[in-house]
Amino acid sequence: MTETTVITRQSADPALSVRGLAKTYGTGENARVVLADVTFDVFSRETVCIVGPSGAGKTTLLRCLAGLLPRTAGTVMLGSTEVVSPPERLAVVFQDYSRSLMPWTTVRANVDLPLRKIKELSKADRCRRANDALASVGLEGCEDLHPWQLSGGMQQRVAIARALAYEPSVLLMDEPFASVDAQTRADLEDLTHTIKARYDVTILVVTHDIEESVYLSDRVIVLSGSPTGVTSIVPIGLNYPRDQVTTKSMAEFAELRANILGMVRRSATTGDEA
């Protein structure tokens, strides 16, 4: 495998298509170019991870993709629709579950409340979606608890359930497991594989954890140092189902991890020099 391997899947329509995305914060003397030229596709039902040096602009990129932040140049297409504001068919899970959940109300209400925005959903449909989503993240029986009565990992499961209840075509996750302990993180990584199979959703995850990116994804997008572009897109050919012990002990896994880690380190050095 070479560093510059780029996969092209002309036959499939991309679920998310990013072309020449650029983002500059500030203007005039205070202008700071963070994203210079980012181009990639995510195909339907793929899981793709984005890695890169700290400060490369991973979170900025994800917020531009979600329509939460205006871009300076380039296009972002969700299917055939250009993203100009947060689209209905796209859901986001953030790292900081404590700020994204409503602490004053129950787990069920946290999942149900955003669904009320979808006008055509009846109360019965909302209830079914919330129950299905909570069951799929292993939170049956917790519906009437408040977020503060749950562990950090369980709170992040509520945030994931809330995103899934939307039944999005694309799920974006920004460092989703960075605030939990190692064992919980491993459980949530496995949960990501489970929900992918159950919800038939396309998943894009920003992570600083190279091992996690290899374990979770079908392809890993490596960003360069700032100002940022795409250094490489690496196909992860590991078989499914994946397992924390077996998959992570494979020689192929170690080789992919080392290869991507090398790219990120070199990107960081290049970025610093730029």
Residue entry with tokens 């490489």: 232
Contacts of 188 (CB under 8 A, 6+ apart): 153, 156, 157, 160, 176, 177, 180
Q: Is there binding between residue 59 and ligand ADP (CB under 6 A)?
A: yes
Instruction: Identify which range of 56-64, 79-87, 155-163, 258-266 contacts ligand ADP by CB under 6 A.
Output: 56-64
Scan residues 212-271 and list those touching ligand ADP (CB under 6 A). Answer: none
How far apart are CB 239 and ligand ADP at their closest, in Å? 30
Cα–Cα distance measured from residue 199 to residue 211, given in angstroms and rounded to the nearest whole number: 24
Closest CB 3 distance from ligand ADP, rounded Å: 20
For residue 191, how many other CB atoms are within 10 A of its CB? 18
From the list 178, 201, 177, 204, the residue with the least C-alpha distance to 50 is 204
User: DSSP alpha helices (H): ranges in the chain?
Assistant: 58-65, 97-100, 107-112, 123-136, 152-165, 182-199, 210-216, 251-273
Q: Which residue has the tokens 């209840």?
A: 165
- Strand, coil or helix: 172: strand
Letters for 13-52 (x = contact with ligand ADP by CB under 6 A, - = none) are ------------x------x-x-----------------x
Query: Taking CB under 6 A as the rule, which mask of x and - marks residues 75-114 in contact with ligand ADP?
Result: ----------------------------------------
* Residue 54 binding ligand ADP, by CB under 6 A: yes
Give the residue with the Cβ less far from ligand ADP, 68 or 254: 68
Strand bridging mode 219-223 / 81-82? unpaired
The number of residues that bind ligand ADP (CB under 6 A) is 11
Using the minimum distance from each CB to ligand ADP, give the nearer residue, 62 or 107. Answer: 62
Our finding on whether 56 is near ligand ADP (CB under 6 A) is yes
**Contact positions vs ligand ADP (CB under 6 A):** 25, 32, 34, 52, 54-60
